[in-house]
Amino acid sequence: MGKDSDTSWKKDNPNTFLSNSVQKADRAVKQAMSHPEEIAVEHAFNSISRAEKAFLHAEQHNEQANSVQQNKEQLELMKQQLSDVQGIVEEQ
């Protein structure tokens, strides 16, 4: 199996895609927290939205329940953090 096949498999695996999406959302939320600006908050909301879609996809494909649940909990925490940041931005 060539390198391209490995990459394609990782990209197509719903659980891997979910984990990657959650990591990207986490970075976006941390960026918004450290630089509370409207564009950073918007980017973080978009990243969380993509991660939530990946969560639904992984759930539909009966991926590893424990891993999916951990990612869901992390997403919920990020949404709360982002909500707090959005409040700061709106006060500015």
Express each pLDDT in 20-71 by its tens digit.
999 999 999 999 999 999 999 999 999 999 999 999 999 888 767 888 889 9
pLDDT at site 20: 96
Helix residue ranges per DSSP H, 1-92: 3-12, 14-34, 38-60, 65-91
CA 7-29-40 angle, 5° bins: 105
pLDDT at site 1: 42
Tell me which amino acid residue 1 is. Answer: M
Residue 88 binned pLDDT confidence (cut-offs 50, 70, 90): confident
Tell if the pTM clears 0.85, that is, is over it: no
